[in-house]
Amino acid sequence: MEKEVRQLVEMGATIAQARAALQKHKDVMQAAERIFDGSFDHLLDADGDVEMGISEPTETQSKPRMITPHEGDNDEGDEDDEALEGDEDDEDDVEDFGDYDSDDGGAIEAGANSANADPYAGIFFSKDRREEVIEVEEEPEVAYVPEVKEEVMLMTQGQWMKGCPEGGEQSFLFGLYRELSEGECRCPHGCRASIPRKKQDFFSLFAEFSTYVKHLQTTVLRSCTKCRKSFCFACGEPIAADLPERSLLPEEDIMLFHCSNLQGVILGVGLAMLEKLYIEQAQDISNGQENRTSGGKRRKVEPAVVPIQHDLDDDEDEDNYYPPVVQGKKAKLGVGYAGDVREDTSGQVEALAAQRAKDEKLAQLLSCIRVFLPSLHRTGGGRTSDYLVHPTALAHLRRRFNFVSSQLLRNDSLVDMSDRSVLYIELFEWLETISCHEALASMMAMPIMVVTSVKSVAPKKTAAKGSNKIRERTIIYEGSSGPRELLEAIVIQAQAAMKGLEGSKPIETCIEMTEEEKRMTVDEKGKARDSGRQLSEENKKLLTFCQRILGTAKAIDRSLSETKGDMFVTRLHASLPKISTTGGTNTPQVQAGDTEESTMKAYVDWANRVRFEYCDLSIPQSDTPAQGNEDSSPHYKFYFNNEARMLANADIPKRSLAIAKELAVLTTNLPVAWNSSIFLRVDETRVDIIKVLITGPEGTPYYNGCYLFDVFLGPNYNQSPPSVKYMTTNGGKFRFNPNLYADGKVCLSLLGTWSGPGWVAGRSTLLQVLISIQSMILCEEPYLNEPGWAQSAGTPQSRAYSANVRRMVVRTAMLGNLKNPPEPFEDVIRTHFRLKTRSIIAQLNEWLAQDDEKPITDGGYGGPRTPASGSSNGFQADIEELKGLLAQLQTTSGGSAVAT
């Protein structure tokens, strides 16, 4: 109960009022309503004292309120009040932050104030949070506003509070809304006059944010009708007549920075406008995509649910209450095929122009609102509201700005972000500004609470006649990645793109210059060496944008280190996604869980970490035969070694740009799952040299096998498709599929080696090729991949073909790869089999029961059969040997024995 009492005291109630209201009304919000409607005004504290540094009401105050310091006012006690309030803010910041992520409810260990201690040692950034709250929505209200000479919508209390799952933040939001929307603001000069407050004073929802700012400029500065002295209508504090001159931007007015109350309401209303504009734009794009017809499949976009305004007379449809938002990016081609080459693209220019206009409008609104963010680095110096941050500021940012920023940061296309740089650069400015302020910086590491469920509930009592009709909904929020973690995914893309733009790194050779050559400074021999590479305009644009992303991440980390400490940043970085630049053979071993569910989670977490890595694929020069001085370029452990060496020092800008875009997508978009995953290894110095491992999908005769491919992005990439070679062939003996030849040929229309829609220059991607192999070649009935047998589903021939594939998979793609793991996937293969041991043993037992006991063939159509001893085809022997290796993996990893 003490926590609830404290919340009510923070809103402005006395301790006695808070205890009495909670005894009668168990709910904090109901108790607050009764206190503020005057039901408990007759109660006083027994000891006459109020906690938290909040003063008792005086004759010149209608109710307790936050004391706001201002420039030029030397009234006694102001400094003490400001110190008390500053301490309160600091204390609340630590405790509220602890409530989010602390093991022990936010308690900080004794001794944490020592010089070398980390004040956040007991805090972690867990996303395993779930909050259930009831949100209220009232009928919209309108009021006449003289500035626009028309009626405008007013923000209701339900709209103001919506989207906030934190109890402490709700109390601050409730208190500020009530203070600025009703009651009276008494003159602080002691003349006992007062001016009534109305909702339209601070909560008018104009069409433009600039109109709202102008409205506040005429509203905030008030003159007392009795003593004619000026005061702030938001906080009720006097305004000094000799305000210092400041160099302000034209649209700024010093009165709008007078107090924290103004800061809270401006950010709240402004971010509500931002959220509304973003949702409207996203829905326009979504509707446009639905109305456009196209022959190709569309990539499924996971919807994000967000709050919107809803007409109370509409059907009670929760799906409409939180509609899906589709990212405003270029339409993507479907998985696998690139679509019809003759696809109509006549509307793309218009769509891009419309998107650019929307981005500019959104960026302009973001820029206007950012002016009012707390910032100690403001032009002309910090203002009062910059130092005394209102407690609702963090609440507004976490529930409204976080929604918009998270949607933009989840964009999986670095190229699309670069094309929309006007919006993203403004977003980066916001993130940097937030991280610079002590009161807001913690938000960068806090999980973002997103809506996962909405359910209507019957109100506890019917609304009185003539009052606004309301409805209630139970909203369930769950934790998701925080802003800095989402930004890190973009940083990884940017780093990969920059690596691609660098192109091939030539081997540096040190040639000693003669003394004469050193003196010939006029000649080019004595000058600094120039690579001679000239980036195209498009390459420069992408490179500049990538550098801006990396700069933002560094600026945020630097600010967090200054405001929260180095240990805070270290702990934050430990939870961020990473891309390894080594083979990863010395990484800590991942342990399987005790249950199937925990094992699946461990597998997916591990696969996400290692799906993309840089490694050294070159062969040491000591291991290659000497060939004179004809060619000093290295050799590679790679099927396309000769082709790669021919392009060792090539500088092809269009190719570099295409590879940069490709790598940016691959770093964070390779599919990983318990049922099937794709792993990539890219050479550190030659990003056009790629090795791929695909684990066979569930429900297919390829399940849990490991299939390797060598990929080379040739000189004309991506005007032409990549070169792909299948490497898991048992030394060129096994044909695993009609589309996977024993010599390594991969038949796929995207590669131009199979009939069907082919590669579309500039639009098709390597990711499409890999997913096509995973889903279309490694399929449930591979027999059907042969065109002449496409109608033979379920036939004895198809079943026999699949049985033979299973035998080849066990012998080569499972047993062979586990006995002799190919580079650079040794750690991936061993971990894959170790974590999935129980599942694989069950799978092997099932496959053995399904086997037709025929000898294994080479995968051809009636080709030679592999000899087998006695009547056995060797399948059971392979399975027993594989089970033995799986048991050894468990033993060496310290795991328990697994039943076979």
* The pLDDT of residue 33: 66
* The pLDDT of residue 855: 87
State the pTM of this model: 0.75
Give domain status of residue 825, yes or no.
Answer: yes
Helix (H) or strand (E) holding 158: helix 157-161
CA nearest to 725, candidates 739, 737, 713, 743? 743
Domain that holds residue 594: 578-625+632-892
What phi, psi does 222 have (nearest 5°)?
-120, 150
Give domain status of residue 686, yes or no.
Answer: yes
Beta partners for residue 635, in sequence order = 619
* The pLDDT of residue 649: 81
| DSSP-based three-state secondary structure for 260 | helix
799-835 tens-digit pLDDT: 999 999 999 999 999 999 999 999 999 999 999 999 9
Give domain status of residue 667, yes or no.
Answer: yes
Tokens of 737: 């599929």
End residue of a domain, out of 37, 56, 75 = 56
Residues of the chain predicted below pLDDT 70: 1, 7, 10-12, 26, 28-30, 33, 36-38, 41-125, 240-253, 285-347, 459-469, 503-534, 580-588, 622-631, 859-872, 893-900
- CA separation for the pair 856, 874 (Å, rounded): 8
Give domain status of residue 711, yes or no.
Answer: yes
Q: For the domain that residue 593 is a member of, what is the CATH number?
A: 3.10.110.10
First to last CA, the chain: 56
* The pLDDT of residue 817: 95
What phi, psi does 249 have (nearest 5°)?
-70, 155
* The pLDDT of residue 642: 92
CA nearest to 764, candidates 726, 720, 827, 732? 720
Give domain status of residue 870, yes or no.
Answer: yes
Give domain status of residue 172, yes or no.
Answer: no
Helix (H) or strand (E) holding 533: none
End residue of a domain, out of 9, 38, 56 = 56
- The Cα angle at residue 777 between residues 776 and 780, in degrees rounded to 5: 80
Tokens of 222: 């008030």
Give domain status of residue 488, yes or no.
Answer: no
- Asked about 747 being catalytic, the answer comes back as yes
- Do strands 184-186 and 141-145 pair parallel, antiparallel, or not at all (unpaired)? unpaired
Q: Find tokens 């690596």 and name the residue.
A: 499
277 neighbors 361 (Cβ within 8 angstroms): yes
- Which residues have C-beta within 8 Å of that of residue 287, sequence separation ≥ 6? none
Q: How far is CA 112 from CA 38, 115, 118, 136, 437, in A?
A: 43, 8, 7, 41, 22
| DSSP-based three-state secondary structure for 470 | strand
Give domain status of residue 592, yes or no.
Answer: yes
What count of other Cβ atoms lies within 10 Å of the Cβ of residue 745? 15
End residue of a domain, out of 15, 37, 56 = 56
Q: Which of 615, 706, 747, 779 is catalytic?
A: 747
Look at the chain and report how many structural domains it folds into.
2
- Do strands 230-232 and 204-205 pair parallel, antiparallel, or not at all (unpaired)? unpaired
- Do strands 678-683 and 612-615 pair parallel, antiparallel, or not at all (unpaired)? parallel
* The pLDDT of residue 709: 97
